[in-house]
Structure formats: structure tokens, C-alpha cells
Amino acid sequence: MKWITATDLKRWAPERDCQENLPLLVRKLIRATSTKLSKILFPAGDNILISGWDGILETLENTEYIPEGISLWEFGATKDKKEKANKDFDKRSQESLSYDKASSTFVFVTPHIWSNKEDWIQEKKQLNIWKDIVVYDAEYLEEWIEIALPLELG
């Protein structure tokens, strides 16, 4: 039995609670699956209203879900995840807030299932702006939660 499924995440997406706590969930997943963090800043709750990146991470290791080096994260819970990803990508490609794009990974997180995310990633990678581009949708988050919380019932 899975504790949290992609369907659960999709149902959670329209709730204000999701906007406030999706960064907290990812922060906890990062801490649960990496021991070599040199910087982690993922504001949650009321702090999501602070301007800037939704998440900033610097790690000394590459894991299944965490890119090595500096990764800069944006979250979008809206149903039109591609539109939100494009908006965040364009905004941060214009103004990366003093981070070097060529040596940083752009990460977009959505609690929805995004079936064409690989096409979007390839399209954006062709622009050669960021070191790498990653999208975590509900499908990836479900698997990451499973790894971080390896509990079996029964």
C-alpha cells in the first residue's frame, strides 16, 4: 500500500495548503534522501510570499532526485503546468538573482501529472541557458516519497 499517490497529489494541487506545503514536502524529501547538503532554502507556509526562488539547493552529490551542485527551484500548483513552467523559466532565465545559469540546474515542481514534460525539457535545453533542466511532477514525487518513506503495511 502506498501512503501517497500521484492521484493524491493531483487532488491536493488546487488547495491553498498545497501552495504553502509543497515546498516543505520537497525540502523534507531532499533531507531524507541526501546527506551532503551545503545549502538548502525552501520557504514554506507564509514564507512562500517572499520574493525570490521557491527553492535553492546546493549539494556535493548527485542522487536519483537531487542534482549535484546548485539547483534553483520553482513550484507551480496550477492546472496548466506548462504555462506556469514557461512563465517561471522565462522569468528566471531573464533574472536569475545573481546565480550563474550556466552552472546551475533549473528545477520545476508540479503536483500534477505532466505527461509531456520530457518534450518541454528538451525544448528548453536547446536554448542552452541552464546547466540542466529538471521537472518533477506527481509521478516523480510519488516515487520520491516512496524512497524517502520506505514503509510497508501488512
pLDDT band at 148 (very low <50, low <70, confident <90, very high): confident
Least confident of 33-37, 97-101, 117-121, 127-131: 33-37
Q: What's the mean pLDDT in 43-68? A: 94
pLDDT band at 1 (very low <50, low <70, confident <90, very high): low
What pLDDT, on a 0 to 100 scale, did the predictor assign at position 153? 44
| Eight-class DSSP state of 103 | G
What pLDDT, on a 0 to 100 scale, did the predictor assign at position 133? 98
What pLDDT, on a 0 to 100 scale, did the predictor assign at position 151? 52
| 3-state DSSP assignment of residue 50 | coil
Q: What's the mean pLDDT in 16-32? A: 95
Residue 68 contacts residue 60 (beta carbons within 8 Å)? yes
**Domain range 6-148, its CATH number among 3.40.1350, 1.20.140, 2.40.128, 3.90.1150:** 3.40.1350
pLDDT band at 101 (very low <50, low <70, confident <90, very high): very high
User: Would you list the domain boundaries of the chain?
Assistant: 6-148
Grid coordinates 501517497 are at which residue?
A: 4
d(CA 81, CA 96): 21
Q: Helices 16-33 and 138-148 sit at what angle, rounded to 10 degrees?
A: 50
d(CA 90, CA 132): 15
User: 2: which 3 cell numbers?
Assistant: 502506498
d(CA 2, CA 66): 22
The model's pTM: 0.94
Q: What's the mean pLDDT in 143-152? A: 79
Q: Compute φ and ψ for 77, nearest 5 degrees.
A: -100, 0
Q: Which residues pair with 67 in a beta bridge?
A: none
Residue 143: CA count within 13 A, CB half-sphere? 7
What pLDDT, on a 0 to 100 scale, did the predictor assign at position 154? 43
Q: Which residues pair with 69 in a beta bridge?
A: 59
From the CB of residue 42, how many other CB atoms can be counted at a distance below 10 Å?
Answer: 22
